[in-house]
Amino acid sequence: MRTSIATVSLSGPLSEKLTAVATAGFDGVEIFENDLLGSPLSPEEVRLRCADLGLSIDLYQPFRDFEAVPADTLARNLRRAERKFAVMERLGADLLLVCSSVAPESVDDDALAAEQLRLLADRAADHGIRIAYEALAWGRHVSTYDHAWRIVEQADHPALGTCLDSFHILSRGSDPKGIADIPGEKIFFLQLADAPLMAMDVLQWSRHYRCFPGQGGFDLAPLVAATVAAGYQGPLSLEVFNDVFRQAGAASTAVDALRSLLLLEESAGLSVLPAASAPSGFAFAELTAADTEPLRGVLDALGFAHTARHTWKPVELWEQGDARILLNTGVSGRRQDPALTAIGVETPEPDRAARRAEAVLAPVVPRRRAQLDAPLDAVAAPDGTEIFFCRTEQADHISWTGDFTELPSRALPKERVEQGERGEPSAAAIRRIDHIALTQPWHQFDEASLFHRGVLGLEADGSLDLADPYGLVRSRAVASPDGGVRIVLNIAPAPDADGPRLQHIALATDDIVGAARRILASGASLLPISANYYDDLEARHDLEPERLATLAELGILYDRDENGEFLHCYTATVGRVFFELVQRTGGYRGYGAQNAAVRLAAQHLHQQGV
Ligand SMILES: O=C(O)c1ccc(O)c(O)c1
Ligand SMILES: [Mg+2]
């Protein structure tokens, strides 16, 4: 279907918004009146600009407080409307949004509202303009879509129809099934917005917390499907009032917006995109630093072995079990301190995964490639982390590991960790990457979870609030159904926005106590955890004293859910990166959120050298 977006959804001057909307690939715009009022461009110039950009002006909005008023007010309102019709003619816009009145002088009289809207539609028709009447969720007398439709039906004028807005419908808990009762040709416009589920004043909720479809808690797909099934022919248009997007660049927000619409069309059954198939595991995590020596030290202590090096790039492969870490010293133009810059995910069909990523507007990472390198597609997540689609060492696909030259040491150190002293496999070895945690810039948190769902086919958990020394940190996990790939997204807790955004790699072991002892024996340290934590642990869970003492001795944190247990501990932080060791038993699904406050506080103290 045609796609459109209200200019109010983006930041900046009108001309920049229009460019961003067109560049992202939308077909049209709704011009939000205040954006025109504040613009140095005349309506004719806006019209020309849109034409040059290939954008249609689908709606001019909003016209407020019109209907169900005393006669003298009606006369003034009609005069006001005539002025707007004139502006719309200059703009070349032929659809005006009229939202239900909030004016104290309007009366609760549907017949009067219908009569006055009919009059308005008649005047509009003289200018070739149509009126779309929308129920604001906080309208004084009309606040539901079915009520607005009854008035439109009663007015019975060809130039009068209704505008549906998913926020107003779903925020009030109205059932979108009733949309089927509205003739499609009387639905003049459809505005789409999602929002996080919150208990608050609906006007504040709408004006500050709307978000793009898929980023909040509303189920938009059935509403869109019902509207299209009713015969609606107009565009799918985003109308998002949001304090956060106001702070972000219009160009990137417009792309995120269109991605959300493409994903919504897919989930409403209106389009077919290359299917997402959830990745089955991590192929690698890539760390970049000018000086990789401190990271090498940590990897060595964790029992990793440097097994191979890239044939021509300054990249080392370190391995243990199925956990692979790339150390990259090619940091030109990037920050110098160690940072997690890329993730490889195992996908059954990397080419198809890349096609899907492109279809949903994920930015493709341009790559320097030598002739003989394996084809490797990557896209950039909203926080800049590069995501590579991999198929590692399978007969049916060229493997990225083929670009690496094995070191003679490969077999040796691997054995050292995987075999215990008497040759039996050591349970304390690291098996694989359990999850990766990426701290997000605060204004990209919702976008990031939609990106990982829509592009990678991961499923999102609910959003959690974790305490840290500064307040609360929002956190949300996205994971494949079988848990093979788990990514935890957190909002940057740093009080100064330019502070480092910490990232970490969690490594799975079957024996965390053995693994922790091995790390300590190698001379490395683990994050010290306060004794108070273990007092509390003892109070919450009836752990054996001996076991509790071992956990306290090693700084291992503990959690459990209805399925099993979770034990975890942390290395020191190097640059922006640290490692976590985790041991899951019995199908525990979480990430130890219960313990995050203690860990964050311990890291804070550690970083201050306390
Ligand atoms: O918040 C408002 O005033 C407002 C204006 C126009 C709309 O279409 C809408 O949904 C809300
Ligand atoms: Mg609206």
Task: Quote the pLDDT of residue 411.
Answer: 54
Q: 321 forms bridges with which residues in the sheet?
A: none
pLDDT in tens, 295-337: 999 999 999 999 999 999 999 999 999 999 999 998 766 567 8
165 is in an annotated binding site: yes
In sequence order, the 6+-apart residues with CB closer than 8 A to the CB of 238 are: 4, 5, 6, 9, 191, 192, 193, 212, 213, 257, 260, 261
Pull the structure tokens for residue 61.
């909005």
pLDDT value of residue 372? 64
> Could you identify the atom of ligand 1 that is nearest to the CA of residue 165?
10
DSSP string covering 29-82, please? EEEEHHHHHT-SS-HHHHHHHHHHHT-EEEEEEEE-S-SS--HHHHHHHHHHHH
Residue 32 CA: which ligand 1 atom is closest?
6
- According to the annotation, is 542 in a ligand binding site? no
Burial of 391 (0-12, 13-18, 19+ CB in 10 A): buried
The answer to whether 439 and 370 have CB atoms below 8 angstroms apart is: no
The pLDDT of residue 298 is: 95
| Burial readout 99-109 (b: 16 or more C-beta within 10 A, e: otherwise) | bbbbeeebeee
Q: In this predicted structure, what is the pLDDT of residue 500? A: 67
Grade residue 470 by pLDDT with cuts at 50, 70 and 90: confident
Give the residue, out of 237, 239, 242, 243, with the most ligand 1 atoms within 8 A of its beta carbon, to mutate for a pocket test: 239
pLDDT of 495 > 50? The answer is no
Measured from CB, residues less than 6 Å from any atom of ligand 1 are 61-62, 97, 99, 134, 136, 165, 191, 206-207, 239
Residue 240 C-alpha to ligand 1 middle, in angstroms?
9
Q: Is 239 labeled as ligand-binding?
A: yes
Query: Mean pLDDT, to the nearest integer, of 337-353?
Result: 93
Of 529, 533, 531, 558, whose CA–CA distance to 543 is shortest?
A: 558
253-262 tens-digit pLDDT: 999 999 999 9
What is the per-residue pLDDT for 29?
Answer: 98
Instruction: Give the span between the Cα atoms of 487 and 505, in whole angstroms.
Output: 10
Q: How far is the CA of 326 from the centre of ligand 2 (A)?
A: 48
Alpha carbon of 191 to ligand 2 centroid (Å): 6
pLDDT tens digits along 129-149 = 999 999 999 999 999 999 999
What pLDDT is attached to residue 610? 66
Q: What is the mean pLDDT of residues 356-369?
A: 85
The proportion of the chain whose per-residue pLDDT surpasses 70, expressed as a percent, equals 94
Domain edges within the chain: 3-267, 281-607
State residue 336's pLDDT score: 73
- Cis ω for the linkage preceding 294 (within 30 of 0): no
pLDDT of residue 606: 83
Ligand 1 atom nearest to CA at 193: 10
Distance 237 CA to ligand 2 centre (A): 10
What is the reported pTM? 0.92
417 pLDDT more than 50: no
> What's the topology of domain 3-267?
TIM Barrel (3.20.20)
Q: pLDDT of 397-414, one tens digit each?
A: 889 999 999 998 665 554
CATH superfamily of 281-607: 2,3-Dihydroxybiphenyl 1,2-Dioxygenase, domain 1 (3.10.180.10)
Give the pLDDT confidence score for residue 414 in this predicted structure: 47
Task: Give whole-number Cα distances, 328 to 306, 332, 338, 367, in Å.
Answer: 13, 11, 9, 15
Joined together, the tokens standing for residue 526 give 């683990």
CA 230 to chain centre: 31
pLDDT digits (tens, 9 = 90+) for 577-594: 999 999 999 999 999 999
pLDDT one-digit tens code per residue, 37-84: 999 999 999 999 999 999 999 999 999 999 999 999 999 999 999 999
Judge if ipTM > 0.85: yes
Give the Å distances, CA to CA, from 530 to 103, 473, 597. 59, 20, 12
Neighbours of ion ligand 2 (CB under 5 A): 165, 191, 239
Of 561, 566, 569, nearest to 517 (Cα)?
569
Q: How far apart are CA 257 and CA 134, in angstroms?
A: 22
**Does position 498 have pLDDT exceeding 70, yes or no?**
no
157 is in an annotated binding site: no
Q: Of 11, 83, 25, 14, which Cα lies nearest the Cα of 49? A: 14
> What would the pLDDT profile of 523-556 be if each residue is shown by its tens digit?
999 999 999 999 999 999 989 999 999 999 999 9
Residue 497 has pLDDT above 60, yes or no: no
Does the structure show a pLDDT above 50 at 166?
Answer: yes
- Rounded average pLDDT over 185-209: 96
Q: How far apart are CA 532 and CA 516, in angstroms?
A: 21
The pLDDT, as a whole number, for residue 197 is: 93
